[in-house]
Every structure is written in C-alpha cells, then in structure tokens.
Amino acid sequence: MNRLPLELTVNGEPISLAVEPNRTLLEVLRDDLELTGAKEGCGEGVCGSCTVLMDGKAVRSCLTLALEASGSEIITVEGLSEGGALDPLQESFIEHGAVQCGFCTSGMLMSAKGLLLKDPHPTKDAILRTLGGHVCRCTGYTKIIEAVEATVDGSAEER
C-alpha cells in the first residue's frame, strides 16, 4: 500500500510522516507518535474515548483518517496542559472527583475543551449535549457535568 505524506501539527509541534491511507488519526497518534492519552474504547465513534481537537473542534480520532487531518492542528490530552500547568478543565475534573477509572477522561476533557473554545459560556443543555456523546461507566456523569460547569465563567443561574 502506498504511503502518502502527512504534515500536521500535534500539540504545537510540526510533524511530518508518511502514512497508509487506511490508518486512522488515533492509530497514528498512539502508535507512531506514542501519544497514548487518547483511547480506543469502541473503535466505532460511539464512546468518545478517542476524542481529540482538530483545528479546535472535537473529533473522533478513531473515525478520522489520519490523512484527513493533513494540514490541521491537533491537540491531544497530553497537549492540554501547557508547560506542565494543568488546564482549568483538568484541575476541575480532578477536584470534582470526575476521574475514576480514567479511561473516558481524556475524551471527555477534549470534548469539553472543544465546547468551551467555541462558546466560553455554554448553557447547561449545551454541556449535556456535548458530554452526551461520551460513555462513562464509573461516575454516573454527575461529577463530570459539575466539573465542566465549574470552569464556565458566570453564575449558572444566569445561563
């Protein structure tokens, strides 16, 4: 199979690779770049554990061809904490007990980040709709929802 050139930015670093067309972004991130924070929970785009940001939008890396990400800027959970300082979302997840087994955590964080990048003051419904595309078996979601809400500026009542 022919490899095609793939140039993209991952967590701020320019990356240049040659990949087969049938490889997913998730495979390239995990296997080639050793960024194992994004997880394969189902491989069919349902559970959300593989979510990363592509040009600021949350995408399922298991259903995104690596080549489709060509020219894009990818942020994974490893790139969420800049220079060692945790993102407010990460802080909030930790403080609110939103992390249990942790397998869904990186995907939840990246989707929430995508939402907040688009709209720093999302409604509760928007938060639920965003997190509704992720499966978590440990937390019952409550703490995750609280953790995201807590990072939103402004009082919840106003929203």
Partner 1 sequence: METMQEFTAIGKPIPKLDAVDKATGRAQYIQDVTLPGMLYGKILYSSYAHARIVKINTEKAKALPGVRVVLTGEDIPPIRMGVYKDNPPLKAGKVRSYRDEVAAVAATDPAIAKAAIDLIEVTYEALPGIFDPEEAMKPDAVLVHEEHKTNVLKMPWRLHYGDVEAAKKEAAFNVEERFTTTWVTHCCMGTSGAIAEFDNANNLTVYTNTQIPSLAQKDFLETLKVMGLKEKRVRVIKPCIGGGFGSKLDTYAYEHVAILLAWHARKPVKILFDREEEFMATSTRQPTIIKISMGCDKDGNLLYRDMEMILDNGAYTSWGVTTPSVMMMPITSLYRVPNVRYSAKCVYTNNTYSQAMRGYGNPQATFAIESAMDMLAAAAGIDRIELRRINCTKPGDVTPQDLRITSCGLSECLEAVVDKLEAGRPKEKGEGIGLASLIHVGGGARIYKSDGCGTIIKMDDYGKANVFTGASDMGQGSDTVIAQIVAEEIGLNVDDVHVIHNDTDVCPWDVGAHASRTTFVAGNSALGAAREIRGRLLKLAADALEAHMDDVVLQDRAAFVKGCPESKVPIAKLLRNSHFKPGGQMMMADYFYDPPNQNMGKDFRGNMSATYSFGTHGVRVKVDEETGKVAIVDYVAAHDVGRAINPLLLDGQVYGGVLMGVGYALTEQVVLRKGRMMNADFRDYKILTAKDAFTLTPVVIETIDEDGPFGAKGIGEPGCVPTAPAIANAIYDAIGVRITDLPITPERVLAAIKKKRNESCGFDPLTEKEQPCE
Partner 2 sequence: MRLPVFAYEVPQNIDEALSLLSRYGSDCRILAGGTDLLVRMKQRLAAPTQLISLKALPELTRIQESEGVLHIGAAARLSDILEYKPIQERWPGLFEAVKSVGAPSIQHFAGTIGGNLCQDNRCQFYNQSSSFRKARQPCNKAGGKTCYAWEGGSDKCYSICASDAAPVLIAMGAEAVIRSAKGERIIPLEELYSSVGERPLTLTDDEMLTEIRVAGPAPGAGNAFEKLAYRSAIDYAVVSAGVAVQTDGKQILKARLVIGAVARAPLAIPAAEAILKDRPAGDEEALYEAGRAAMNTAQPFIANNMSPPVDYRTRMVSVMAKRAIKKALSRTGLMEAL
Query: How many angstroms separate the CA atoms of 69 and 128, rounded?
Result: 27
CA dihedral for 9, 11, 15, 20, sign (positive or negative)? negative
Q: Which residues pair with 16 in a beta bridge?
A: 7
Neighbours of 129 (CB within 10 A): 12
Q: Cα(107)–Cα(141) distance, rounded to whole angstroms?
A: 13
Rule CB under 8 A: is residue 44 a binding residue for partner 2? yes
Q: Does 26 bind partner 1 (CB under 8 A)?
A: no
Residue 129 is a binding residue for partner 1 (CB under 8 A): yes
The answer to the question of residue 48 lying near partner 2 (CB under 8 A) is yes
Positions touching partner 2 (CB under 8 A) are 1-2, 4, 20-24, 27, 40, 43-46, 48, 51, 57-60, 62-65, 67-68, 111, 114, 129-135
Positions touching partner 1 (CB under 8 A) are 30, 35-44, 46-47, 49, 76-78, 80-81, 86, 90, 93-97, 99-106, 109, 128-129, 131-145
